[in-house]
Amino acid sequence: MGRVLIIGCGGVASVAAHKCCQNSEVFGEVMVASRTKGKCDALKARLDATGTPTAVYTQRVDASDAAALAALMREYRPDVALNLALPYQDLSIMDACLEAGVHYVDTANYEPPDTAKFEYSWQWAYRSRFEEAGLTALLGCGFDPGVTGVFSAYAQKHYFDVIRTIDILDCNGGDHGLPFATNFNPEINIREVTAPGSYWEDGAWVHTAPMEIKRGYDFPQVGPRDMYLLHHEEIESLAVNIKGVRRIRFFMTFGESYLTHLRCLENVGMTSIKPIEYNGMEIVPLQFLKAVLPDPASLGERTRGKTNIGCVFTGEKGGRPVNYYLYNVCDHQECYREVGSQAISYTTGVPAMIGAGLVMTGAWRRPGVYNVEEFDPDPFMDGLGKWGLPWTEDFSPVLVD
């Protein structure tokens, strides 16, 4: 039995903590440490009320202060730090792990607070330091990135000699009944969807304007939806790790109302991350917008419908063409009944727990910095079935043009 330090106490952390407490054989102890200790204490009360044998502790910490975090790690001595705070804190948490000798797992790659740009280079640069310290850093272990990388490794291992194309399709068919809300951290979400798009083709990035490429897709158990091509972080690692892949694209569904609100907010400058002065104070418009938007954690109760996230692969096996679609369908209300969160937090928190568990037990432990697709996908796929995200295979899927 091991000890995990969960950093952050938002929607995703809450699900991961519930799942660690369900998996007491692996997680004997959980400490939830975040900026606002009251949220950690409230979560502990909910976890304790489930009757879990896992012991839960809480602590206040500023994860951008590597020295303070390292001191907490030295005192608590966790086996694994599960970073479920914000992408801005990735590097300080990795620094703290190196200083205190703790394995590291996260779900989103580093993004500098003052530039809406996320990429792996900053974290991949830690490779030799983690190798020398004999520590594992597992990057991007949510759903996308995360499960989409595990799906790719699984497809590669079992069904393809070579994968030629990967289309990652992320559909949220849920409805919260509000005119506008984001289903995970609004600041991170809006930075992602207002950025220019891009995809990988023939060894290079192809750049697009934001939301320039639109397609329709009929999602199993959800129905037809419009989806838009976005830049997404797993494209960067899959392009390196899936040998022979020619094209990787990422599509996400958005409804008309969401897009109209977003366009409006952009047009009036509310999505800007450039600080402005207001009443003698410096504020960042997007951070102010986050403060007035609904907290994603509060959407759980009112969200109905399903998510469908998966990958469509094309390629060859034994000289024959293969098309393969691997996806998960998750029901918002079922998630809410189980852990009090909607499916977006659920589909991220469950894989985060599975990844932390595989590092904890040693099944996915290797000194260095790795993306999920670099490990054996089979134990992770077993975990998905066991912990609430079963998957479906389709060998004659509709392809995206």
Give the binding site for ligand NDP (CB under 6 A).
Answer: 8-13, 34-36, 39, 61-64, 84-87, 89, 107-108, 142-146, 184-185, 188, 296-297, 348
CB of 392 to ligand NDP, least distance (A): 19
Contacts (Cβ under 8 Å, ≥6 apart) of 300: 332, 335, 336, 340, 341, 342, 345
Residue 222 CA to residue 130 CA, distance in Å, equals 42
Residue 254 CA to residue 220 CA, distance in Å, equals 17
Helices in 35-194 by DSSP H: which ranges? Answer: 37-48, 66-76, 90-100, 121-124, 127-133, 147-158, 186-193
Contacts (Cβ under 8 Å, ≥6 apart) of 275: 282, 283, 284
Tokens standing for residue 254: 């958005």
Three-state SS for 255? coil
CB of 170 to ligand NDP, least distance (A): 9
Distance of CA 49 to the CA centre of its chain: 27
Q: Which is nearer to ligand NDP, 9 or 322 (CB)?
A: 9
CB of 13 to ligand NDP, least distance (A): 6
CB of 292 to ligand NDP, least distance (A): 15
CB of 26 to ligand NDP, least distance (A): 21
Q: Which is nearer to ligand NDP, 23 or 348 (CB)?
A: 348
Helices in 77-172 by DSSP H: which ranges? Answer: 90-100, 121-124, 127-133, 147-158
Q: Which is nearer to ligand NDP, 147 or 211 (CB)?
A: 147
Q: Within a 10 A sphere around the Cβ of 201, how many other Cβ atoms?
A: 15
Q: Specify the amino acid at residue 355.
A: G
Distance of CA 109 to the CA centre of its chain: 9
Residue 264 CA to residue 132 CA, distance in Å, equals 50
Task: Tell me the C-alpha to C-alpha distance, in Å, between residue 101 and each of 49, 96, 137, 144.
Answer: 32, 8, 11, 28
CB of 151 to ligand NDP, least distance (A): 13
User: What single-letter DSSP state applies at residue 304?
Assistant: B
Residue 375 CA to residue 355 CA, distance in Å, equals 10
Q: Which is nearer to ligand NDP, 112 or 244 (CB)?
A: 112
Q: Which is nearer to ligand NDP, 146 or 310 (CB)?
A: 146
Report the residue number whose CB is nearest to ligand NDP: 10
Asked if 289 contacts 271 with a C-beta cutoff of 8 angstroms, the reply is yes
CB of 204 to ligand NDP, least distance (A): 25
Helices in 362-391 by DSSP H: which ranges? Answer: 377-386
Q: Which is nearer to ligand NDP, 123 or 314 (CB)?
A: 123
CB of 361 to ligand NDP, least distance (A): 22
Q: Which is nearer to ligand NDP, 188 or 239 (CB)?
A: 188
Q: Which is nearer to ligand NDP, 98 or 150 (CB)?
A: 150
Tokens standing for residue 393: 């295979």
CB of 114 to ligand NDP, least distance (A): 15
Task: Tell me the C-alpha to C-alpha distance, in Å, between residue 313 and each of 178, 241, 246, 339.
Answer: 35, 15, 11, 32
State in Å, rounded, how far the first CA of the chain is from the last one: 48
Q: Which is nearer to ligand NDP, 142 or 377 (CB)?
A: 142
Q: Specify the amino acid at residue 83.
A: N
CB of 322 to ligand NDP, least distance (A): 26
CB of 37 to ligand NDP, least distance (A): 9
Three-state SS for 326? strand
Q: Which is nearer to ligand NDP, 13 or 252 (CB)?
A: 13
Q: Which is nearer to ligand NDP, 66 or 312 (CB)?
A: 66
